[in-house]
Structure 1
Amino acid sequence: MLQDDITNGKYLPNERIPSEIELAKLLSVSRMTVNKVINELVKEGVLYRHQGKGTYVVIKKIDQWFFKITSFNRDMVSRGLVPSTSVLEKMVLKAPRNVQNALKLSPKESVIFIKRLRYADNEPIMLESRYLNYELCKRILKEALDKESIHDLLIQKYGLPLTKVSQYLEAIQISKDDAKFLGVKSGEPGFLLCRITFTGESPVTFVNYIYRGDKYRFTAEFVPIE
Protein backbone atom coordinates (compact mmCIF):
# COMPACT_ATOMS: atom_id res chain seq x y z
CA MET A 1 0.00 0.00 0.00
CA LEU A 2 1.18 3.50 0.85
CA GLN A 3 4.31 2.30 2.67
CA ASP A 4 5.36 0.31 -0.41
CA ASP A 5 4.79 3.30 -2.69
CA ILE A 6 7.08 5.42 -0.51
CA THR A 7 9.73 2.70 -0.27
CA ASN A 8 9.66 2.16 -4.05
CA GLY A 9 10.09 5.87 -4.73
CA LYS A 10 6.64 6.66 -6.07
CA TYR A 11 6.51 9.48 -3.53
CA LEU A 12 9.86 11.19 -3.06
CA PRO A 13 11.32 12.84 0.07
CA ASN A 14 9.65 16.18 0.84
CA GLU A 15 6.91 15.44 -1.73
CA ARG A 16 3.28 15.90 -0.74
CA ILE A 17 1.25 12.70 -0.94
CA PRO A 18 -2.35 12.72 -2.23
CA SER A 19 -5.15 13.63 0.17
CA GLU A 20 -6.90 10.95 2.21
CA ILE A 21 -9.90 11.04 -0.15
CA GLU A 22 -7.65 10.67 -3.20
CA LEU A 23 -5.67 7.83 -1.63
CA ALA A 24 -8.85 6.01 -0.63
CA LYS A 25 -9.94 6.05 -4.28
CA LEU A 26 -6.49 5.08 -5.59
CA LEU A 27 -6.10 2.19 -3.15
CA SER A 28 -9.76 1.12 -3.16
CA VAL A 29 -10.03 1.29 0.62
CA SER A 30 -12.01 3.39 3.07
CA ARG A 31 -10.87 6.84 4.12
CA MET A 32 -10.78 5.57 7.72
CA THR A 33 -8.23 2.93 6.70
CA VAL A 34 -6.12 5.54 4.91
CA ASN A 35 -6.24 7.84 7.94
CA LYS A 36 -5.08 5.02 10.21
CA VAL A 37 -2.17 4.14 7.90
CA ILE A 38 -1.07 7.77 7.62
CA ASN A 39 -1.20 8.22 11.40
CA GLU A 40 1.02 5.14 11.85
CA LEU A 41 3.51 6.37 9.24
CA VAL A 42 3.64 9.78 10.94
CA LYS A 43 4.41 8.06 14.27
CA GLU A 44 7.15 6.01 12.58
CA GLY A 45 8.74 9.14 11.11
CA VAL A 46 8.01 8.22 7.49
CA LEU A 47 5.54 11.08 6.92
CA TYR A 48 4.96 14.49 8.47
CA ARG A 49 1.96 16.81 8.40
CA HIS A 50 2.21 20.47 7.40
CA GLN A 51 -0.88 22.23 8.73
CA GLY A 52 -2.97 23.71 5.96
CA LYS A 53 -0.80 22.21 3.21
CA GLY A 54 -0.97 18.42 3.50
CA THR A 55 1.12 15.39 4.37
CA TYR A 56 4.68 14.98 3.11
CA VAL A 57 7.34 12.28 2.89
CA VAL A 58 10.10 12.80 5.44
CA ILE A 59 13.58 13.46 4.12
CA LYS A 60 15.73 10.59 5.36
CA LYS A 61 18.74 11.99 7.18
CA ILE A 62 22.30 10.69 7.18
CA ASP A 63 23.36 9.38 10.57
CA GLN A 64 26.81 10.83 11.24
CA TRP A 65 28.69 9.07 14.04
CA PHE A 66 30.11 11.60 16.49
CA PHE A 67 32.73 9.27 17.99
CA LYS A 68 33.91 7.76 14.72
CA ILE A 69 35.99 9.19 11.87
CA THR A 70 35.30 7.71 8.45
CA SER A 71 36.14 8.54 4.85
CA PHE A 72 33.34 10.64 3.35
CA ASN A 73 33.49 8.74 0.07
CA ARG A 74 33.39 5.29 1.67
CA ASP A 75 30.64 6.40 4.02
CA MET A 76 28.41 7.62 1.19
CA VAL A 77 29.04 4.51 -0.91
CA SER A 78 28.09 2.29 2.05
CA ARG A 79 24.74 4.12 2.15
CA GLY A 80 24.08 3.57 -1.54
CA LEU A 81 24.86 7.20 -2.43
CA VAL A 82 27.27 8.50 -5.06
CA PRO A 83 29.87 10.85 -3.50
CA SER A 84 31.67 13.67 -5.27
CA THR A 85 33.78 16.65 -4.26
CA SER A 86 34.53 20.14 -5.55
CA VAL A 87 37.75 21.82 -4.41
CA LEU A 88 36.82 25.47 -3.90
CA GLU A 89 40.15 26.74 -2.55
CA LYS A 90 43.66 25.35 -2.05
CA MET A 91 46.44 27.67 -0.90
CA VAL A 92 49.24 28.42 1.54
CA LEU A 93 48.65 31.31 3.93
CA LYS A 94 49.70 32.74 7.26
CA ALA A 95 47.80 31.02 10.03
CA PRO A 96 44.94 33.07 11.52
CA ARG A 97 45.08 33.46 15.30
CA ASN A 98 42.54 30.72 16.05
CA VAL A 99 44.40 28.32 13.75
CA GLN A 100 47.72 29.19 15.38
CA ASN A 101 46.22 28.23 18.73
CA ALA A 102 44.64 25.03 17.42
CA LEU A 103 47.78 23.81 15.62
CA LYS A 104 50.24 25.25 18.17
CA LEU A 105 52.01 27.41 15.59
CA SER A 106 53.94 30.66 15.87
CA PRO A 107 52.55 33.82 14.18
CA LYS A 108 55.17 33.50 11.43
CA GLU A 109 54.31 29.94 10.44
CA SER A 110 52.19 29.11 7.40
CA VAL A 111 49.39 26.61 6.95
CA ILE A 112 47.73 24.92 4.01
CA PHE A 113 44.09 25.91 3.60
CA ILE A 114 41.71 23.64 1.69
CA LYS A 115 38.02 24.30 1.19
CA ARG A 116 35.88 21.54 -0.30
CA LEU A 117 32.20 21.06 -1.01
CA ARG A 118 30.99 17.48 -0.58
CA TYR A 119 28.06 16.02 -2.52
CA ALA A 120 25.84 12.95 -2.29
CA ASP A 121 24.02 12.05 -5.51
CA ASN A 122 25.04 15.47 -6.91
CA GLU A 123 23.43 17.35 -4.01
CA PRO A 124 25.68 19.51 -1.78
CA ILE A 125 25.42 18.36 1.83
CA MET A 126 28.61 19.40 3.63
CA LEU A 127 31.16 22.23 3.43
CA GLU A 128 34.68 21.54 4.70
CA SER A 129 37.28 24.18 5.61
CA ARG A 130 40.57 22.57 6.59
CA TYR A 131 43.90 23.94 7.84
CA LEU A 132 46.95 21.67 7.82
CA ASN A 133 50.41 22.02 9.32
CA TYR A 134 52.48 23.11 6.30
CA GLU A 135 55.74 21.45 7.31
CA LEU A 136 54.06 18.09 7.88
CA CYS A 137 51.64 18.16 4.95
CA LYS A 138 53.18 20.27 2.15
CA ARG A 139 53.00 17.35 -0.33
CA ILE A 140 49.22 17.43 -0.18
CA LEU A 141 49.15 20.49 -2.46
CA LYS A 142 50.02 18.21 -5.39
CA GLU A 143 47.24 15.70 -4.70
CA ALA A 144 43.92 15.41 -6.56
CA LEU A 145 41.80 16.44 -3.60
CA ASP A 146 38.54 16.18 -5.52
CA LYS A 147 39.11 12.42 -5.52
CA GLU A 148 41.49 11.61 -2.67
CA SER A 149 40.63 11.25 1.02
CA ILE A 150 42.81 13.64 3.04
CA HIS A 151 42.39 11.35 6.03
CA ASP A 152 43.75 8.38 4.04
CA LEU A 153 46.59 10.42 2.53
CA LEU A 154 47.84 11.55 5.93
CA ILE A 155 47.79 8.07 7.42
CA GLN A 156 48.64 5.77 4.52
CA LYS A 157 50.83 7.90 2.25
CA TYR A 158 52.49 10.40 4.58
CA GLY A 159 52.87 8.13 7.62
CA LEU A 160 51.04 10.44 10.04
CA PRO A 161 48.96 8.09 12.20
CA LEU A 162 45.88 9.52 13.86
CA THR A 163 46.51 9.22 17.60
CA LYS A 164 44.08 11.70 19.16
CA VAL A 165 41.05 13.80 18.23
CA SER A 166 39.61 16.86 19.93
CA GLN A 167 36.25 18.06 18.62
CA TYR A 168 33.00 19.78 19.46
CA LEU A 169 29.60 20.06 17.81
CA GLU A 170 27.13 22.90 17.87
CA ALA A 171 23.87 23.85 16.18
CA ILE A 172 24.13 26.89 13.90
CA GLN A 173 22.23 28.99 11.42
CA ILE A 174 24.00 28.66 8.09
CA SER A 175 25.53 31.95 6.95
CA LYS A 176 24.63 33.68 3.70
CA ASP A 177 27.98 32.81 2.08
CA ASP A 178 27.92 29.16 3.14
CA ALA A 179 24.25 28.81 2.18
CA LYS A 180 25.13 29.64 -1.44
CA PHE A 181 27.48 26.66 -1.60
CA LEU A 182 25.11 24.30 0.19
CA GLY A 183 22.06 25.22 -1.85
CA VAL A 184 19.94 26.34 1.10
CA LYS A 185 18.52 29.63 2.33
CA SER A 186 20.56 31.86 4.61
CA GLY A 187 19.68 31.16 8.23
CA GLU A 188 18.66 27.55 7.64
CA PRO A 189 19.63 25.21 10.52
CA GLY A 190 22.87 23.30 10.31
CA PHE A 191 25.64 21.73 12.35
CA LEU A 192 29.18 22.96 12.87
CA LEU A 193 31.72 20.28 13.78
CA CYS A 194 35.16 21.61 14.72
CA ARG A 195 37.90 18.99 14.88
CA ILE A 196 41.63 18.93 15.63
CA THR A 197 43.53 15.74 14.81
CA PHE A 198 46.90 14.80 16.26
CA THR A 199 49.78 12.53 15.40
CA GLY A 200 51.56 11.81 18.65
CA GLU A 201 51.19 15.07 20.57
CA SER A 202 51.47 17.24 17.44
CA PRO A 203 48.27 18.70 15.97
CA VAL A 204 48.15 18.12 12.22
CA THR A 205 44.79 19.41 11.01
CA PHE A 206 42.13 21.83 12.18
CA VAL A 207 38.83 21.40 10.34
CA ASN A 208 35.43 23.08 10.34
CA TYR A 209 32.66 20.97 8.83
CA ILE A 210 29.30 22.60 8.14
CA TYR A 211 26.50 20.07 7.66
CA ARG A 212 23.03 20.77 6.34
CA GLY A 213 20.51 20.32 9.13
CA ASP A 214 17.92 18.84 6.78
CA LYS A 215 20.36 16.15 5.66
CA TYR A 216 22.21 15.10 8.81
CA ARG A 217 21.70 14.04 12.37
CA PHE A 218 24.47 13.07 14.77
CA THR A 219 24.45 9.83 16.71
CA ALA A 220 26.70 8.28 19.33
CA GLU A 221 27.09 4.89 20.96
CA PHE A 222 29.04 4.37 24.17
CA VAL A 223 29.27 2.35 27.35
CA PRO A 224 28.16 4.38 30.38
CA ILE A 225 30.62 4.79 33.24
CA GLU A 226 29.10 3.93 36.60
Structure 2
Amino acid sequence: MMASPLYRKIAQQIKQEIEAGNWKEGEAIPTEKHLSEKYDASRVTIRQAVKTLVEEGLLKRIQGSGTYVSEKKIEHNIYELESFTEEMRRLNKQPVNNVMNFQMIDPPMHVKSKLQLGEEEKVFYVRRQRLVDDIPYVLEDTYLPVRLFPDLSFKVMSGSKYDYIEKEQGKKIKESFQEVIPILPDSDIAGALGVQETTPILKIQHYSVFQDDTIFEYSENYFKSDEYKFTLRAKRPN
Protein backbone atom coordinates (compact mmCIF):
# COMPACT_ATOMS: atom_id res chain seq x y z
CA MET A 1 0.00 0.00 0.00
CA MET A 2 1.44 3.40 -1.03
CA ALA A 3 2.25 5.76 1.85
CA SER A 4 0.53 9.15 1.98
CA PRO A 5 2.62 12.08 0.72
CA LEU A 6 4.29 14.10 3.47
CA TYR A 7 2.16 17.19 2.77
CA ARG A 8 -1.00 15.18 3.47
CA LYS A 9 0.40 13.93 6.77
CA ILE A 10 1.25 17.51 7.75
CA ALA A 11 -2.20 18.69 6.65
CA GLN A 12 -3.72 16.03 8.93
CA GLN A 13 -1.58 17.19 11.85
CA ILE A 14 -2.60 20.80 11.28
CA LYS A 15 -6.23 19.68 11.13
CA GLN A 16 -5.80 18.01 14.54
CA GLU A 17 -4.37 21.27 15.93
CA ILE A 18 -7.49 23.12 14.71
CA GLU A 19 -9.89 20.47 16.06
CA ALA A 20 -8.11 20.54 19.43
CA GLY A 21 -8.59 24.31 19.58
CA ASN A 22 -4.85 25.05 19.57
CA TRP A 23 -5.38 27.15 16.45
CA LYS A 24 -8.35 29.43 17.10
CA GLU A 25 -11.05 30.40 14.58
CA GLY A 26 -10.24 33.68 12.84
CA GLU A 27 -6.58 33.69 13.93
CA ALA A 28 -3.66 33.85 11.50
CA ILE A 29 -1.74 30.59 11.16
CA PRO A 30 2.01 30.44 11.96
CA THR A 31 4.46 31.48 9.26
CA GLU A 32 5.78 29.08 6.63
CA LYS A 33 9.20 29.29 8.30
CA HIS A 34 7.73 28.32 11.69
CA LEU A 35 5.73 25.44 10.22
CA SER A 36 8.71 24.26 8.20
CA GLU A 37 10.76 24.01 11.38
CA LYS A 38 7.90 22.51 13.42
CA TYR A 39 7.21 19.70 10.95
CA ASP A 40 10.77 19.35 9.64
CA ALA A 41 9.65 19.84 6.05
CA SER A 42 10.43 22.14 3.15
CA ARG A 43 8.43 25.30 2.57
CA VAL A 44 7.14 23.81 -0.67
CA THR A 45 5.68 20.88 1.30
CA ILE A 46 4.18 23.23 3.91
CA ARG A 47 2.68 25.36 1.15
CA GLN A 48 1.02 22.28 -0.37
CA ALA A 49 -0.35 21.18 3.02
CA VAL A 50 -1.83 24.63 3.62
CA LYS A 51 -3.27 24.71 0.08
CA THR A 52 -4.98 21.36 0.78
CA LEU A 53 -6.65 22.74 3.92
CA VAL A 54 -7.69 25.94 2.12
CA GLU A 55 -9.40 23.78 -0.51
CA GLU A 56 -11.15 21.83 2.28
CA GLY A 57 -12.34 25.10 3.83
CA LEU A 58 -10.51 24.71 7.15
CA LEU A 59 -8.18 27.59 6.29
CA LYS A 60 -8.85 30.71 4.25
CA ARG A 61 -6.54 33.10 2.47
CA ILE A 62 -7.23 36.83 2.60
CA GLN A 63 -5.50 38.69 -0.20
CA GLY A 64 -2.81 41.04 1.08
CA SER A 65 -3.24 39.83 4.66
CA GLY A 66 -2.41 36.15 5.12
CA THR A 67 -3.91 32.76 5.88
CA TYR A 68 -6.38 32.27 8.74
CA VAL A 69 -8.29 29.50 10.46
CA SER A 70 -11.77 29.57 8.97
CA GLU A 71 -14.68 30.45 11.20
CA LYS A 72 -17.69 28.17 11.18
CA LYS A 73 -20.27 29.13 8.61
CA ILE A 74 -23.50 30.67 9.83
CA GLU A 75 -26.28 28.15 9.36
CA HIS A 76 -29.26 29.97 7.91
CA ASN A 77 -32.57 28.11 7.99
CA ILE A 78 -34.54 29.34 4.99
CA TYR A 79 -37.78 28.20 6.65
CA GLU A 80 -37.26 30.72 9.48
CA LEU A 81 -38.38 34.27 8.73
CA GLU A 82 -35.67 36.00 10.73
CA SER A 83 -33.94 39.28 9.97
CA PHE A 84 -30.15 39.55 9.74
CA THR A 85 -30.12 41.59 12.97
CA GLU A 86 -32.25 39.01 14.80
CA GLU A 87 -30.11 36.16 13.49
CA MET A 88 -26.84 37.79 14.58
CA ARG A 89 -28.21 38.70 18.02
CA ARG A 90 -29.31 35.08 18.48
CA LEU A 91 -25.72 34.04 17.75
CA ASN A 92 -24.41 36.63 20.26
CA LYS A 93 -22.89 38.74 17.50
CA GLN A 94 -23.27 42.49 17.14
CA PRO A 95 -24.45 43.41 13.63
CA VAL A 96 -23.83 46.74 11.91
CA ASN A 97 -25.87 48.11 9.01
CA ASN A 98 -23.90 50.35 6.67
CA VAL A 99 -26.45 52.20 4.54
CA MET A 100 -24.73 52.70 1.19
CA ASN A 101 -27.70 54.13 -0.71
CA PHE A 102 -31.04 55.57 0.43
CA GLN A 103 -33.36 57.29 -2.03
CA MET A 104 -36.93 57.56 -3.26
CA ILE A 105 -37.22 56.27 -6.83
CA ASP A 106 -39.58 55.16 -9.54
CA PRO A 107 -39.31 51.38 -9.21
CA PRO A 108 -37.96 49.15 -11.98
CA MET A 109 -40.65 47.10 -13.72
CA HIS A 110 -39.77 43.82 -11.97
CA VAL A 111 -40.01 45.56 -8.57
CA LYS A 112 -43.31 47.24 -9.47
CA SER A 113 -44.69 43.84 -10.47
CA LYS A 114 -43.49 42.09 -7.29
CA LEU A 115 -44.91 44.81 -5.02
CA GLN A 116 -48.12 45.10 -7.07
CA LEU A 117 -47.76 48.88 -7.25
CA GLY A 118 -49.89 51.44 -9.03
CA GLU A 119 -48.60 53.29 -12.08
CA GLU A 120 -47.33 56.42 -10.26
CA GLU A 121 -46.25 54.82 -6.98
CA LYS A 122 -42.73 55.36 -5.72
CA VAL A 123 -40.54 53.21 -3.51
CA PHE A 124 -37.67 53.70 -1.13
CA TYR A 125 -34.60 51.95 -2.48
CA VAL A 126 -32.03 51.07 0.19
CA ARG A 127 -28.72 49.29 -0.25
CA ARG A 128 -27.24 48.05 3.02
CA GLN A 129 -23.96 46.35 3.74
CA ARG A 130 -24.49 44.02 6.72
CA LEU A 131 -21.35 43.58 8.81
CA VAL A 132 -20.18 41.70 11.89
CA ASP A 133 -16.80 42.58 13.45
CA ASP A 134 -16.13 44.85 10.44
CA ILE A 135 -16.52 41.88 8.07
CA PRO A 136 -19.23 42.19 5.37
CA TYR A 137 -21.56 39.18 5.43
CA VAL A 138 -24.50 40.27 3.29
CA LEU A 139 -25.35 42.98 0.79
CA GLU A 140 -29.05 43.85 0.72
CA ASP A 141 -31.05 45.79 -1.87
CA THR A 142 -34.51 46.54 -0.48
CA TYR A 143 -37.54 48.24 -2.07
CA LEU A 144 -40.33 49.51 0.21
CA PRO A 145 -43.51 51.30 -0.97
CA VAL A 146 -43.55 54.94 0.13
CA ARG A 147 -47.31 54.83 0.79
CA LEU A 148 -46.76 52.12 3.46
CA PHE A 149 -43.73 53.74 5.11
CA PRO A 150 -43.91 57.52 4.49
CA ASP A 151 -41.65 58.27 7.46
CA LEU A 152 -38.92 55.78 6.58
CA SER A 153 -35.47 57.33 7.10
CA PHE A 154 -31.77 56.72 6.75
CA LYS A 155 -31.59 56.40 10.54
CA VAL A 156 -34.32 53.74 10.63
CA MET A 157 -32.51 51.65 8.01
CA SER A 158 -29.27 51.94 9.96
CA GLY A 159 -31.00 49.79 12.57
CA SER A 160 -33.35 46.82 12.30
CA LYS A 161 -35.95 47.12 9.55
CA TYR A 162 -38.21 44.52 11.17
CA ASP A 163 -37.97 46.22 14.60
CA TYR A 164 -39.17 49.42 12.93
CA ILE A 165 -42.04 47.67 11.13
CA GLU A 166 -43.26 45.58 14.05
CA LYS A 167 -42.40 47.65 17.12
CA GLU A 168 -42.73 51.21 15.83
CA GLN A 169 -45.34 50.75 13.11
CA GLY A 170 -47.24 48.02 14.99
CA LYS A 171 -47.62 45.86 11.90
CA LYS A 172 -47.54 42.05 11.90
CA ILE A 173 -45.33 40.23 9.41
CA LYS A 174 -46.81 36.98 8.18
CA GLU A 175 -44.34 35.32 5.81
CA SER A 176 -41.93 35.71 2.93
CA PHE A 177 -41.47 33.95 -0.40
CA GLN A 178 -37.86 33.26 -1.36
CA GLU A 179 -35.88 32.15 -4.38
CA VAL A 180 -32.22 31.15 -4.02
CA ILE A 181 -29.91 31.60 -7.02
CA PRO A 182 -26.13 30.97 -7.22
CA ILE A 183 -24.43 33.78 -9.15
CA LEU A 184 -21.10 35.45 -9.86
CA PRO A 185 -21.15 39.01 -8.44
CA ASP A 186 -20.66 42.13 -10.51
CA SER A 187 -17.88 44.54 -9.51
CA ASP A 188 -20.07 46.64 -7.17
CA ILE A 189 -21.41 43.62 -5.27
CA ALA A 190 -17.99 41.95 -5.13
CA GLY A 191 -16.46 45.15 -3.76
CA ALA A 192 -19.13 45.52 -1.07
CA LEU A 193 -18.70 41.91 0.04
CA GLY A 194 -14.91 41.91 -0.20
CA VAL A 195 -14.76 38.99 -2.64
CA GLN A 196 -13.42 38.45 -6.15
CA GLU A 197 -15.78 38.68 -9.12
CA THR A 198 -14.90 35.04 -9.82
CA THR A 199 -16.14 33.93 -6.38
CA PRO A 200 -19.61 32.32 -6.45
CA ILE A 201 -22.13 33.85 -4.05
CA LEU A 202 -25.79 33.21 -3.23
CA LYS A 203 -28.53 35.61 -4.22
CA ILE A 204 -31.90 35.42 -2.47
CA GLN A 205 -34.82 37.25 -4.05
CA HIS A 206 -37.78 37.51 -1.73
CA TYR A 207 -40.93 39.46 -1.02
CA SER A 208 -42.70 39.62 2.33
CA VAL A 209 -46.32 40.12 3.35
CA PHE A 210 -48.29 41.38 6.33
CA GLN A 211 -50.99 39.33 8.04
CA ASP A 212 -53.56 40.81 5.63
CA ASP A 213 -51.40 39.58 2.69
CA THR A 214 -50.30 43.09 1.70
CA ILE A 215 -46.87 42.85 0.07
CA PHE A 216 -44.68 45.35 1.90
CA GLU A 217 -41.13 44.70 0.67
CA TYR A 218 -39.10 43.20 -2.11
CA SER A 219 -35.42 42.47 -1.48
CA GLU A 220 -32.43 41.04 -3.28
CA ASN A 221 -29.85 39.80 -0.79
CA TYR A 222 -26.32 38.67 -1.66
CA PHE A 223 -24.67 36.23 0.73
CA LYS A 224 -20.98 35.30 0.90
CA SER A 225 -20.77 31.55 0.34
CA ASP A 226 -17.74 31.27 2.65
CA GLU A 227 -19.69 32.75 5.59
CA TYR A 228 -23.12 31.16 5.11
CA LYS A 229 -24.65 27.79 4.51
CA PHE A 230 -28.37 27.33 3.91
CA THR A 231 -30.32 24.48 5.44
CA LEU A 232 -33.83 23.14 5.17
CA ARG A 233 -35.64 20.18 6.65
CA ALA A 234 -37.52 17.89 4.29
CA LYS A 235 -40.11 15.38 5.52
CA ARG A 236 -41.65 12.49 3.65
CA PRO A 237 -45.44 12.76 3.28
CA ASN A 238 -47.59 10.54 5.48
2:82 aligned with 1:73 = no
Give the corresponding residue for 1:137: 149
Alignment of 1:36-185 (within 5 A): 47=58, 57-141=69-153, 143-146=155-158, 148-185=159-196
1:224 to partner: Cα distance: 3.2
Please list the CA deviations of residues 172-194 of structure 1 after superposition, one character each: whole Å capped at 9, or x if unmatched.
11111111111111131100011
Shift of the 22–225 alpha-carbon distance from structure 1 to 2, 3 Å rule, reads farther
CA distance in 1, matches of 2:206, 2:93: 25
The alignment's TM-score, normalised by the length of structure 1, stands at: 0.77
1:152 to partner: Cα distance: 1.8
Matched AA of 2:98? S
Matched AA of 2:134? N
1:137 to partner: Cα distance: 1.2
Match 1:193 to one of 204, 213, 220? 204
Please list the CA deviations of residues 54-92 of structure 1 after superposition, one character each: whole Å capped at 9, or x if unmatched.
x98444211111111223223223334332111011111
Contact residue 82 and residue 122 of structure 1 kept, 8 A: no
CA distance in 2, matches of 1:82, 1:198: 27
Runs of 4+ in 1 over 3 A off after TM superposition: 1-6, 8-25, 45-49, 55-59
CA distance in 1, matches of 2:68, 2:96: 28
Percent identity between the two aligned chains: 23
Matched AA of 1:104? Q
CA distance in 2, matches of 1:143, 1:102: 26
Q: Which moved more, 1:186-195 or 1:214-223?
A: 214-223
Matched AA of 1:210? Y
Unaligned runs of 5+ residues in structure 1 are 26-37, 50-54
Give the secondary structure class of the aligned counterpart of 1:140. coil
Contact residue 13 and residue 60 of structure 1 kept, 8 A: no
Shift of the 139–9 alpha-carbon distance from structure 1 to 2, 3 Å rule, reads farther
CA distance in 2, matches of 1:10, 1:134: 47
Give the secondary structure class of the aligned counterpart of 2:166. helix
Contact residue 88 and residue 117 of structure 1 kept, 8 A: yes
Matched AA of 1:117? Q
Cα RMSD, aligned residues only? 3.3
CA distance in 1, matches of 2:155, 2:25: 41
1:122 to partner: Cα distance: 0.5
CA distance in 1, matches of 2:169, 2:26: 43
CA distance in 1, matches of 2:71, 2:131: 16
Contact residue 25 and residue 71 of structure 2 kept, 8 A: no
1:123 to partner: Cα distance: 0.6
Shift of the 189–201 alpha-carbon distance from structure 1 to 2, 3 Å rule, reads same
Shift of the 74–9 alpha-carbon distance from structure 1 to 2, 3 Å rule, reads farther
Unaligned runs of 5+ residues in structure 2 are 1-12, 41-48, 61-66
CA distance in 2, matches of 1:97, 1:11: 44
Shift of the 102–183 alpha-carbon distance from structure 1 to 2, 3 Å rule, reads same
1:104 to partner: Cα distance: 0.3
Shift of the 214–127 alpha-carbon distance from structure 1 to 2, 3 Å rule, reads same
